[in-house]
Amino acid sequence: MIIPTSSQLRYLGKPASIDDMVGDDVESRVARPQDYDRIVAVIDDWWGRPVRASLPRLFLDHFWATSRVTDDEYGLAAFLVAFVSPSAPELAYLHFVGVRPDRRRSGLAESLYGEFLTYASSVGCRQARAVTASGNEGSIRFHQRLGFDRQRTHAELQRRRAGNGDLRPLAGDHDQNRFDRVCEAAGMISIDDFLYYVDNALDAMVRIVSELGDDLANRRLDVPGANSPFAILTHCLGVMEYWGGEIVAGRAIVRDRSAEFRATGSVAELAHRAERARRQLRADIAAIDPFGPPRGSPRAMDSTLPLARTQGGALLHIYEELAQHRGQLEITRDVLRRLS
């Protein structure tokens, strides 16, 4: 999975217990459906404005098992409503957290987040998401302190488009700050690090076909299913363009996969194409949402596989193809040289 270097996040790991953080006068437990009435009875007062409508009863009816409440001697002290997305099992969503005003800055909210995120990580979640109202600077700072990365709001995206001369309205009408957090423990890698491995494989393949020259690079071994070095590299460039350009970036790509394996031509021109493909891939994945669905339409035969379920899966497939075909190219080179 890939995230931009500028958005690299940390994973806080297993949090301290409630007792360690805020003292032994509180009790934290899994929420129950009947806790809903206790929560909605106080949240408007805790927030100082009407917010009850943002927490319908269905959240405690259906997601109580992953939500938590904390009590002290005066009653409800804090609560967290959160769940693992049924539609995207790698995504954890923290919908609502509240702390009684006299208990704020005691570590309760941080501990509730930590308990849930530890659970979410243990069941395979690789990203956590939360939203908070624009202008709620305290909540923004809280999420950023916990390692969440702030995403652009609807209004900010609209202003950016208007600044570029695009006055078409964006779909939706919400204007909340969305926060994403990714666990390093789940195998996150920066775009720059990913491209390091891509460049390494691509450089090696370009070097091989260049050393072979036009004659040997366009020659096939006399065995069933063999491909020429020229065709192997051409196929890899097709992989980069389709999976990076269409599946990740959403550009419409017209690809003739079978023609890639029949390709012949000038090694010098192929090397130039490889350089262009390298630059295009960097541009295509610059705005990647690693756990987001493909922006393009994968083939039906690929749609249920990990390589086509997420944009990050598509990038792993790109490297998978480059790595295995680099090995194929090295073996083909060695045999062609021995036979020539």
Give the tens place of pLDDT for each residue, 8-35: 223 333 333 444 444 557 898 999 999 9
Considering the segment(s) 190-339 as one domain, its CATH architecture is Up-down Bundle (1.20)
pLDDT in tens, 206-255: 999 999 999 999 999 999 989 999 999 999 999 999 999 999 999 999 99
Name all contacts of 199-205 with Cβ < 8 Å and 24+ positions apart: 199/278, 201/319, 201/322, 201/323, 201/326, 202/236, 202/274, 202/277, 202/278, 202/322, 204/326, 204/329, 204/330, 205/232, 205/233, 205/236, 205/274, 205/322, 205/325, 205/326, 205/329
Which range has the worst mean pLDDT, 162-166, 196-200, 252-256, 301-305? 162-166
- Residue ranges, CATH 1.20.120.450, the chain: 190-339
More reliable by pLDDT, 180 or 125: 125
- Residue ranges, CATH 3.40.630.30, the chain: 2-187
Q: CATH number of the domain at 2-187, please?
A: 3.40.630.30
pLDDT in tens, 170-218: 344 444 455 554 433 334 577 888 999 999 999 999 999 999 999 999 9
